[in-house]
Structure 1
Amino acid sequence: MKGGSRFFTIALVSAWYSSNIGVLLLNKYLLSNYGFKYPIFLTMCHMTACSLFSYVAIAWLKLVPMQTLRSRLQFFKIAALSLVFCVSVVFGNISLRYLPVSFNQAVGATTPFFTAVFAYLITFKREAWLTYLTLVPVVAGVVIASGGEPSFHLFGFIVCVAATAARALKSVLQGILLSSEGEKLNSMNLLLYMAPIAVVFLLPATLMMEENVVGITLALARDDVKIIWYLLFNSALAYLVNLTNFLVTKHTSALTLQVLGNAKGAVAVVISILIFRNPVSVTGMMGYSFTVLGVVLYSEAKKRSK
């Protein structure tokens, strides 16, 4: 690999790590430490930014060719994916109000378990027995981490599990609903169509469940204008996560992205503990390490079974 190409790849991976960890930590800060207790509105800000930036990146900057929808049925399939995606992001943000980032990441690492479960229930797809065996430490690690988590919150834990399950369900449904050659969309075009639909879903939910959130946000801004900058920067980061995810996959491989993703969770845990100084126990860290080991073994088993 040439020096310039290697530098570009390293810069891409660094941007992907920074945006992923940055949006996670900033969400935690806003929803928990800062006291901005409006996760649905925060998610709607993210999706609004993704809608605008996606259009600019595809229609104006031509980063990827524009892919048009082929039918009304394809639109409804994308709408269904968008709804599940909304649930996963909103629930994930809600969980950050109650759980430290370290434990949130431990629960989130069980995504392969839920993916395997939904793939079997919906498509009857069976994996090799060794692949299922690697899921045992994935789940066992979270059970151990839960027992040793000083800041354990039952509601936060349930919501975090629901967010993880919804994330897995979205990936399985995406493989089913957009599997035909005529319906396949690259991730940037899929986001272009999903994000505005997500805003349509989130707007009434925000108005009903987070009453007068815009007025409250403006009132907060009069006392501390930084809240506006936090929201704008956080929303831009949410789009950067998706953009860099696409670019890293394009310039490396999906497998490389998976390996980097496993390491990203551990990096996010360490940084969050250093920043928020949330109490951790040896049992909790052992549980999380067990889960990460299980995810690595699962990835290796999946690779060998192909």
Structure 2
Amino acid sequence: MACAAAVVVFTWLITGITISSLNKWIFAEYKFRCPLLLSSLHMLAAILLRLALLKLKAGKDGTLTAKARSRVFLLSLSFCASIAFGNLGLNDVQLSLAQMVYSTTPLFTLALSKALLGTQHHTLKYIAMVPICAGASLSMIGEAQFHRSGCIFLLLSTFLRGLKSIQQSTLLKEERINSVTLLYLMSLPSFCILFTAALVLENRAVWEIPYQQDNTLWLFILLSCVGSVLYNLASFWVIAFTSAVTIHVLGNLTMVGNLVLSQILFGSHLTGLSYVGIALTLMGMLLYHNCELIAGSLSSRTAKSK
């Protein structure tokens, strides 16, 4: 079980690092101004994967209750809104700034799990949110290419990322839906919503794509779709193994990889405040994951002193 969890987390971290950089490359280098269309293609790829597995008799969809189906639909709304806002924000800001905003996701998830599910968390986990969010704030202040509307889109995406993680955790653990089936069921309405929105809002941008476009653009789009499917499946499995909050705290590890790629691929420059912010965020992450160990150590020391 531990080995399987480690493989899943590693896959999730690698795909998480590459998918953001790949999408940013498509937007920046190929002037692809259709983030909603790209998001809908991600959902279409998930649908095709499930249909292929069903054809190979790799699994059957179980019967869901009316309550479970409504929960899946609400998850679809949160999911497509999250990735749509995320891609809209990524269209306007540097990848480094996007990662800083996303690093606050554990705070939203922690608050939502407490408000919606009544989950009790250790006090040190709340304390760990202070350096995580302070680090993200310092990095945003230190970002040389700040874009207001882009940051607003990213903050909306961050809130929805936390919400959809809570919804995913409920469906995976309470409704006992397996990851592949949940991704398929969620992708059907998400594709319809995103593709319709792309036709309405990005109609002009689609026709502005040069006809003599380099074929490598479509290769990158294909890779982005494959990476999206792998990332979403891995994220479901990580949530099933851990929790909705833990996946986003672990996600701050991808921040380091994406910041390095942002400097290499897009020439973004980090200021001193940005580096301080990164250090604070990583400190908060370490505190979160070791809160029980720290609490146990403090308790033993207190007992010895008495």
Sort the TM-score into its range (normalised by shorter chain): 0.7 to 0.9
1:230 pairs with 2:207: no
Taking the aligned partners of 2:248 and 2:152, their CA distance within structure 1 comes to 25
Taking the aligned partners of 1:249 and 1:175, their CA distance within structure 2 comes to 6
TM normalised by structure 2 equals 0.83
Relative to structure 1, the CA distance from residue 92 to residue 40 in structure 2 (aligned partners, 3 Å threshold; closer, same or farther) is: same
Match of 1:199?
191
Taking the aligned partners of 1:300 and 1:188, their CA distance within structure 2 comes to 31
Q: Structure 2 matches for 1:239-254, cutoff 5 A?
A: 239-245=229-235, 254=242
Taking the aligned partners of 1:20 and 1:157, their CA distance within structure 2 comes to 20
36-45 or 121-130: bigger deviation: 121-130
Residue 187 (structure 1) aligned to one of 173, 179, 186: 179
1:53 pairs with 2:43: no
Taking the aligned partners of 1:168 and 1:259, their CA distance within structure 2 comes to 11
Match of 2:302?
none
Q: Structure 2 matches for 1:60-79, cutoff 5 A?
A: 60=56, 62=58, 65-79=59-73
Taking the aligned partners of 1:153 and 1:104, their CA distance within structure 2 comes to 11
**Cα deviation code 1:186-231 (max 9, x no counterpart):** 22221011111211111221111111555445xx343333222222
What is the CA distance between 1:27 and its match in structure 2?
0.5
1:150 pairs with 2:144: yes
What is the CA distance between 1:286 and its match in structure 2?
1.2
Measured on the aligned residues, the alpha-carbon RMSD in Å equals 3.1
What is the CA distance between 1:185 and its match in structure 2?
1.0
**Cα deviation code 1:279-304 (max 9, x no counterpart):** 21111121122123212322333788
Residues 131 and 283, structure 2, Cα contact 8 Å, conserved in 1: yes
Taking the aligned partners of 1:302 and 1:175, their CA distance within structure 2 comes to 22
What is the CA distance between 1:99 and its match in structure 2?
1.6
Residues 103 and 133, structure 2, Cα contact 8 Å, conserved in 1: no
Taking the aligned partners of 2:173 and 2:221, their CA distance within structure 1 comes to 35
| Secondary structure of the structure 1 residue equivalent to 2:77 | helix
Residue 34 (structure 2) aligned to one of 38, 41, 47: 38
Relative to structure 1, the CA distance from residue 211 to residue 304 in structure 2 (aligned partners, 3 Å threshold; closer, same or farther) is: farther
Residue 277 (structure 1) aligned to one of 267, 271, 274: 267
Residues 139 and 278, structure 2, Cα contact 8 Å, conserved in 1: yes
| Secondary structure of the structure 1 residue equivalent to 2:228 | helix
What is the CA distance between 1:100 and its match in structure 2?
1.4
Match of 2:96?
102
Match of 2:298?
none
What is the CA distance between 1:121 and its match in structure 2?
2.5
Taking the aligned partners of 1:150 and 1:108, their CA distance within structure 2 comes to 18
Relative to structure 1, the CA distance from residue 134 to residue 249 in structure 2 (aligned partners, 3 Å threshold; closer, same or farther) is: closer
Taking the aligned partners of 2:211 and 2:50, their CA distance within structure 1 comes to 27
Taking the aligned partners of 2:79 and 2:113, their CA distance within structure 1 comes to 17
What is the CA distance between 1:149 and its match in structure 2?
0.7
Q: Percent identity?
A: 29
What is the CA distance between 1:96 and its match in structure 2?
0.9
**Cα deviation code 1:146-171 (max 9, x no counterpart):** 11111111111111111111010111
How many residues align? The count is 293
Residue 88 (structure 1) aligned to one of 71, 82, 85: 82
Residues 106 and 249, structure 2, Cα contact 8 Å, conserved in 1: no
| Secondary structure of the structure 2 residue equivalent to 1:116 | helix
Residues 109 and 292, structure 1, Cα contact 8 Å, conserved in 2: no
Match of 1:25?
21
| Secondary structure of the structure 1 residue equivalent to 2:290 | helix
Segments of structure 1 that go 5 or more residues without pairing to the other structure are: 1-5
Segments of structure 2 that go 5 or more residues without pairing to the other structure are: 296-306
Residues 84 and 169, structure 1, Cα contact 8 Å, conserved in 2: yes
**Counterpart AA for 2:277:** G
Match of 1:171?
165
Match of 2:258?
268
**Counterpart AA for 1:190:** L
Residues 100 and 140, structure 2, Cα contact 8 Å, conserved in 1: no
| Secondary structure of the structure 2 residue equivalent to 1:51 | helix
